[in-house]
């Protein structure tokens, strides 16, 4: 009389792939070049997801290498997670340095994502000051990409000495104009 019907098992919960976002910490076998050098699978490490985006039908994630080493190697554009609450939120075991110059862009379904007998490689998510530092780092990378694109455009224009202005006149592009020294 008081039996409740058992709800059907619907797998409508989004997968980790659909939920992956900048600031997530994932377990990923990085650097992949270790396999070439040693023949062994690289060690699964915590990696910071910096970007997630689409290229055609492919979803890609940009990951930054995580390390506990404080040595001089692999330095540049670092983001350090060292505050106890941030360490807990990130799902890491201790202070970790994410090396922004050691990034890799991989498809979401890449075999190097380490599930470690779980349904997800996501260990946690940045919080507090670490999250703000990541946003600043992402802004810096975007600014560098924008500057590189402008430089490529300027080089392309330099190969074609004249250009058509919006009013139909043709104008010569001089080195001063290219360098912004007007």
Extents of the domains making up the chain: 16-147
**Residue whose token pair is 């020294």:** 181
Beta strand pairing status for 170-172 and 24-29?
Answer: unpaired
Q: How far apart are CA 114 and CA 74, in angstroms?
A: 22
> What CATH number was assigned to the domain covering residues 16-147?
2.30.30.110
pLDDT reported for residue 62: 94
Q: How far apart are CA 85 and CA 131, in angstroms?
A: 12
| pLDDT tens per residue across span 76-97 | 788 999 999 999 999 999 999 9
| Most confident region among 2-6, 70-74, 170-174 by mean pLDDT | 70-74
Q: pLDDT tier at 170 (50, 70, 90 boundaries)?
A: low
Q: Among candidates 71, 123, 66, which has minimal Cα distance to 95?
A: 66
- High-pLDDT (> 90) share of the chain, %: 37
| pLDDT tens per residue across span 103-150 | 899 999 898 898 877 889 999 999 999 999 999 999 898 888 888 888
Q: Judge contact between 157 and 178, C-beta under 8 A.
A: yes
């Amino acid at each position: 009389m008081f039996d409740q019907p058992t709800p059907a098992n619907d797998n409508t919960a989004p997968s980790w792939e659909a939920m992956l976002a900048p600031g997530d910490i994932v377990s990923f076998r990085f650097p992949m070049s270790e396999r070439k050098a040693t023949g062994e699978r690289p060690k699964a490490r915590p990696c910071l997801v910096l970007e997630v985006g689409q290229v055609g039908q492919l979803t890609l994630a940009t990951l930054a290498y995580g390390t506990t080493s404080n040595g001089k190697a692999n330095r540049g554009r670092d983001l350090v997670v060292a505050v106890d609450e941030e360490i807990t939120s990130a799902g890491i075991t201790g202070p970790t340095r994410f090396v922004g110059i050691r990034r890799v862009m991989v498809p979401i379904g890449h075999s190097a994502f380490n599930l470690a007998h779980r349904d997800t490689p996501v260990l946690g998510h940045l919080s507090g000051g670490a999250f703000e530092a990541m946003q600043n780092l992402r802004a810096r990378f975007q600014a560098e990409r924008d500057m590189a694109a402008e430089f490529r455009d300027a080089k392309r224009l330099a190969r074609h000495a004249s250009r058509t202005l919006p009013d139909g006149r043709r104008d010569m592009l001089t080195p001063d104009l290219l360098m912004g020294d007007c």
